[in-house]
Structure 1
Amino acid sequence: MKSEGSNSGNSRRKFLKGSALAAAGFYIVPRNVLGGPGFIAPSDKLRVASIGVGGMGGSDVRGVTKTGKVDFIALCDVDDSRAKGSRELHPKAKYYNDFREMLDKEGNNIDAVTVSTPDHMHAVAAMAAMKMGKHVYVQKPLAHDIYEARMLTEAAKKYKVVTQMGNQGSSGDGVRQMVEWYDAGLIGEATKVYSWTDRPVWPQGIQWPTEPVTPPSDLDWDLWLGTAPYKDYVGNLVPFNWRGWWDYGTGALGDMACHIMEPPFRVLGLGYPKSAECSVGSVYVGEFKRGYFPESCPPSSHITLRFDRPGKDDLEFHWMDGGIQPNRPEELAPNEQMGDGGNGVIIEGTKGKMMCSTYGKNPQLLPTSKTKDANVPQTLHRVDGGDGGHYNNWVEACIAGHGSEEFKNLSSPFSIAGPLTESVLMGNLAIRSYDYRTPKADNANQFDYPGRGIKLVWDGPEMKVSNFEPANQFVKRDYRGDYSL
């Protein structure tokens, strides 16, 4: 097993090539002569293990496989039936249910790990791999809570590994086009950002089911719960609806904001927000009675983040979900689509506006007639294949190693994905603070909501809310059992 801080990019392939040169120095036959055009020698392939290989994890396995530059050594999932497709795709890969056992047994045989579990298990799995010197690809959102995101960002730097978050739009041409437009001054200085999604498309704002159900025989429920508090298995939770529960998921914001907020973050070079406030949609149970379900993410929300920009006015950044959308820009004609309809971004500037849809696709200046005349120099590197090249962007960097040119061209390394995820999760911290309640002093059956009506002031470097202490309980959660970072 590699020691902590080892650089797997300083790889065995270099050792093997050097050994071959020493042993057969009189003559070396080029790889392409031995294997034909496009041939990749086994020593040049990235050895990969995957944690979570059903659903989105299966998509990640297929995406990494299509690069043609990897060997899958091991697969891990807590749900045997969901893992079936990936196991059939890679029948020679060893299969595990517990990622800790997999890393312990296969540590010497792998270079990189993909993590595609539910949100609450991202950080512990990724951190365990990075401490072993393994490169990691982690699905969005990078982590379940702000503390985890910060720790993963710092670990990537400490252990000198190649990292990537699974927000594929960051590899697309659209976000790079928007950066170039903005840098060329086409919309002036940005003043406001609006981002929105039609998610959730799973239940949120509901009561936890009261009737336990026997877990499926092919699901290890205890391993699925992982870091989360123990609860009996309930129906309609696995494999998808866990997203709406705070113990496991991060709601509509966590699911979509790493895709939708990423373009303006990249365009404007944003860091930590300075404040956050929100409002959430109500849930009604029975006749005109509002339900209070703090275990569940709300059915809709509107979050306002403010970012400090030295020497400039604060930037106002809006996030809306559950069908809430910003006012339609006057520059859009009645028959023109705003974003992609259900999702999108609008950046308002002192001289104009620009817009895109999910993943930064279809960037447009407003009015859209300006777009075809926007000829600015291309200044940014383009990823081969655009957003479809996101996996290859990571694989190539892993093979080349930490600090390589390929490493410098990564689309969403944790140095970028970490602060983005922290800002996304700051919105969830505001939501949970909004719903925090205490019994009234004069009537224990009635409640106060002290987090409402407060603009939470965020100290990014210290990772804490400075003006409402109860909010800080949502910065970092406790893990069950022996799980730790």
Structure 2
Amino acid sequence: MSKNIESIDRREFVKKSGLGLLTAALAPSFLANLKAGERLKTAHIGLGAMGMADLSAISSHELVDVAFLCDVDSENLAKAHALHPNAKIYTDYRIMLKEMKNEIDAVVVSTPDHTHAPASLMAMKMNKPVYCQKPLTHHVSEAREMKKIAEKKNLVTQMGIQVHSFYDYKLATLLIQSGIIGKVHTVRAWSPKNWGYDGPEPTGSDPVPATLDWNLWQGTAPERPFKEGYYHPGNWRKIMDYGCGTLGDMGVHIFDTPYNALKLDVPETILNECRLPTDFGFPEHNMVTYQFPGTEYTAEKLTWIWYDGPGAPSEHPDLILPNGDELPDQGAMFMGDKGRLLLPHFQQLPRKIVDGQYVEMDIESFNLGKPVKDYEGESKKHYHQFVDACMGKDECSAPFSYAARLTETILLGVIAGRFPNQTLHWNSKKAKFDEKEANEFLDGKYRKF
């Protein structure tokens, strides 16, 4: 492990790595140089739980060859390599990308949140299509950078929100845009998951597992001693240096359909009602209220309230269901001037509610076929869409042009958690808050490692 590690500004990293030197836009089919019958050689960065799911789904495409595998944990790497023994293995994604840039056709990034942008940006700088897990980035500035580069280079990109391609979410989008509940004025969304930590920052250190390169796992994040049970594996989402809390995990999925259906941009104001910040862990309970400018599918302004943590959501008349029914564990409720639409998360059909009663809907008219409840099969659609887009045969439905705006919205709510019970005002054109003290959290220092 490096003992003398400096911090560098993210912009300096972009400059030094050559990411600021954008080439002219490429042809829409980035891999048009592949000859007929050739296969897509993929490189996979991050092979933990979600990384293995991504690997399985991507490799299930008949035209994919898994050529390169990279993880900082040798146990993860060994499990993936056993499934793809012909793949070349690496511990450091930077070495893999530099050595194999001429052999890699597309890159899949499935790391903890803080490494999404550093790994993706390096691959994009090399003109590689990228599939990156959600949330797209750890910082707002990174999301804007990734959107900018993807668009200027005309790269095929997809954020890993696989439920974006599920039947029930496609149906809900069509229902809302058909005006089935009129103009929407409020959305309430919730998840009782707890990717927060209200306890004290741990002290001392534990031995780093022999299988883990702790320096590489931390990557560009600030250096700290390893503590068993706090970071790797599994709990990093709770910690500010690495994750984005429940909002950054489940919020991205549950926000996605209302955000897409209502054609929202980024919010104008954000208020997070939560405990005081600790500068280490995210709050275990958040209630975030966003105000969005109106669109063709909304009232003049749209109010969006997000609840997370054990017991979420808070009781509200908007969330009372007919017949005394219980709310789904996770989901969203659209409130319009002609009724409400309940959208459970996930693989449950949306339900229309008017005057306290369920109302039948004609879903056959939307030509989506019969409802589907097949998580594995439905999930693959999103991954295969990326592969097909790389081959010039399809377009991605969650490209970085969309994913960056959705992620920015999520991250603004995360930042608001550092200023509890204070309304923050977001200037999208300037990419700054009116409240200057909040702007320091839009970016971050990249540690040399």
Q: Structure 1 residues 298 and 88 mapped into 2: Cα distance closer, same or farther (>3 Å)?
A: same
Distance 1:309 1:210, change over 3 A: same
Q: Which has the larger radius of gyration?
A: 1
Matches within 5 A, 1:474-485: 474-481=441-448
- TM-score w.r.t. the length of structure 2 is 0.87
Rounded to whole Å, the distance in 2 between the matches of 1:241 and 1:397 is 33
**C-alpha separation in 2, matches of 1:10 and 1:210:** 49
Paired AA for residue 359 in structure 2:
K
1:165-176 → structure 2 map (5 Å cutoff): 165-176=159-170
Does 1:324 find its partner at 2:344?
no
* TM alignment of 1:105-144, pairs within 5 A: 105-144=99-138
Identify which of 196, 204, 208 aligns with 2:201.
Answer: 208
Match of 1:297 in 2: 282
For 1:304 and 1:158, how far apart are their aligned partners in 2?
A: 33
Deviation for aligned residue 1:352: 0.6
Offset from partner CA, 1:33-84 (integer Å, 9 cap, x none)? xxxxxxxx4x1x2110000012111111011111222011110001111222
Structure 1 residues 306, 258: CA separation in 2 closer, same or farther (over 3 Å shift)?
same
1:461 and 2:429 aligned:
yes
Matched, 1:231 2:224: yes
- CA deviation map 1:457-485 (0-9, x unaligned): 1001211101x111011111111117xxx
Which one of 296, 300, 307 corresponds to residue 292 of structure 2? 307
SS at match of 1:195: strand
Contact 1:168 1:359 in 2 (8 A): no
Distance 1:349 1:429, change over 3 A: same
Give ranges in structure 1 of 5+ residues lacking alignment.
18-40, 283-291, 435-451
Given candidates 232, 240, 247, the residue that maps to 2:234 is: 240
Q: 2:402 aligned with 1:416, yes or no?
A: yes
Report the CA distance shift for 1:372/1:189 in structure 2 as closer, same or farther (over 3 A). Answer: closer
What do residues 132-189 of structure 1 show as CA deviations (whole Å, max 9, x unaligned)? 1111000010000111111111111111111111111111122221222122221010
Q: Which residue of structure 2 lines up, in the alignment, with residue 399 of structure 1?
A: 391
| TM-aligned CA distance change 1:301 to 1:353, over 3 Å | same
Report the Cα distance in structure 1 between the residues aligned to 2:211 and 2:238, rounded to whole angstroms.
Answer: 23
Any idea what SS the aligned residue of 1:176 has? helix
Q: In the TM superposition, what is the alpha-carbon distance from 1:293 to its structure 2 partner?
A: 2.3
Structure 1 contact 175–266 (Cα < 8 Å) conserved: no
Does the CA-based 8 Å contact 2:32-2:391 persist in structure 1?
A: no
Q: Please give the secondary structure, in 2, of the residue aligned with 1:154.
A: helix
Classify the secondary structure of the residue corresponding to 1:306. strand
Cα distance in 2 for residues equivalent to 1:169 and 1:77? 25
Residue 93 of structure 1, CA deviation: 0.6
2:424 is matched by which residue type in structure 1?
L
1:220 aligns with 2:201: no
Counterpart selection for 1:356 from 343, 346, 350: 343
- What letter corresponds to residue 366 of structure 1 in structure 2? I
TM-score by length of 1: 0.81
Paired residues of 1:181 and 1:376 also in contact (CA < 8 A): no
**Unaligned 5+ residue runs, structure 2?**
1-21
The separation in 2 between residues aligned to 1:122 and 1:331, in whole angstroms, is 39
3-state SS of 2:69 partner: strand
Matched residue, 1:11: 31
Alignment of 1:424-435 (within 5 A): 424-434=410-420
CA distance in 2, matches of 1:228, 1:166: 22
Deviation at 1:375, TM superposition (A): 5.3
User: Aligned AA for 2:255?
Assistant: M
Alignment equivalent of 1:266, drawn from 254, 260, 268 = 260
3-state DSSP of counterpart to 1:101: helix
2:440 corresponds to: 473
Q: Does 1:347 align with 2:334?
A: yes
Report 1 or 2 for greater relative contact order, CA contacts < 8 Å, sequence distance ≥ 6.
2
Structure 2: how far apart are the matches of 1:215 and 1:330?
Answer: 46
CA-CA distance at 1:86 after TM superposition: 1.0
- Indicate whether 1:370 and 2:363 are aligned: no
Aligned-pair identity (%)? 34
1:333 maps to which of 319, 322, 330: 322
Distance in 1 (CA, whole Å) between partners of 2:431 and 2:402 is: 17
Question: Contact (CA 8 Å) 2:196, 2:283: kept in 1 or not?
Answer: no
1:433 maps to amino acid: F
SS of corresponding position for 2:407: helix
Name the aligned partner's letter for residue 172 of structure 1: F
| SS of structure 1 residue aligned to 2:208 | coil
The letter of the residue matching 1:308 is: P
Q: Aligned Cα RMSD in Å?
A: 2.4
Deviation at 1:355, TM superposition (A): 1.2
CA contact (8 A) 1:182 1:267 kept: yes
